[in-house]
Copies of this chain bind each other. A is one copy, B any other.
């Protein structure tokens, strides 16, 4: 598959790019607002992968460039930019493109991180409403600790919750998740369930904020 990671220079974008390039044969494209940033990130990932004896070819370009014709795009940007980014690239998406959203709106308070969804109920649902026809939005990868996932030596042993109404697209994203060694895709329901999935991210950040040695954790159902 051709997977475009928009905002692919950030933490979760880097983690997914490295892992897919390492564990799979998918064709990865790194998108950013500027070509230069995307090229630099792609170089970094290729160099890292070379250290693991993986000869990867990772494309790069502006978000628009890499989104065009991709089988799946990941909106690896801060939550408040996700909708605008999707609207920006909407015209270049092919019917059937899967839009994957890992972002979560939240507020940091002294008592912990608080989930802060849009009034639609969740960012995933908001994006689904904003997406062009024949483009399905699937929520996934919210709870992955990006730094740890980006470390190709790290054992993960964790789950990712996958939500979405288009069951075919949902199955594709579960497949993409399961191809990463140590990650198990878990069906967390339709779009209406996305809020409960997104809320796990502030929960994990709160635990990290309050307890030493409990940072960079993921979730495992046991």
* Residues on A facing B (Cβ under 8 Å): 109-115, 157-158, 161, 163, 165, 186-193, 195-197, 199-200, 202-204, 206-207, 209-211, 214, 217-222
- A191 — which chain B residues lie within 8 A by C-beta? 111
Most buried by B among A195, A196, A207, A221: A196
**With a CB–CB cut-off of 8 A, which chain B residues contact A204?**
221
User: How far, in angstroms, from A191 to B112 measured CA to CA in the complex?
Assistant: 9
Specify which chain B residues have a CB less than 8 angstroms from the CB of A186 in the assembled complex.
207, 211, 214
Q: A186-B207, A186-B214, A219-B219 are in contact. Are A192 and B161 (CB under 8 A)?
A: no
Q: Are B111 and A190 interface neighbours, CB within 8 A?
A: yes
- Of A115, A192, A210, the most chain B CB neighbours within 10 A belong to A192
Given A111-B192, A114-B192, A196-B202: 5 more A-B contacts, CB < 8 Å: A111-B190, A111-B191, A158-B222, A189-B209, A220-B222
Q: Which residues of B contact A192 (CB under 8 A)?
A: 109, 111-112, 114
Question: Roughly how many angstroms separate A81 CA and B109 CA in the complex, as a whole number?
Answer: 30
Q: B188 contacts A207, CB within 8 Å?
A: yes
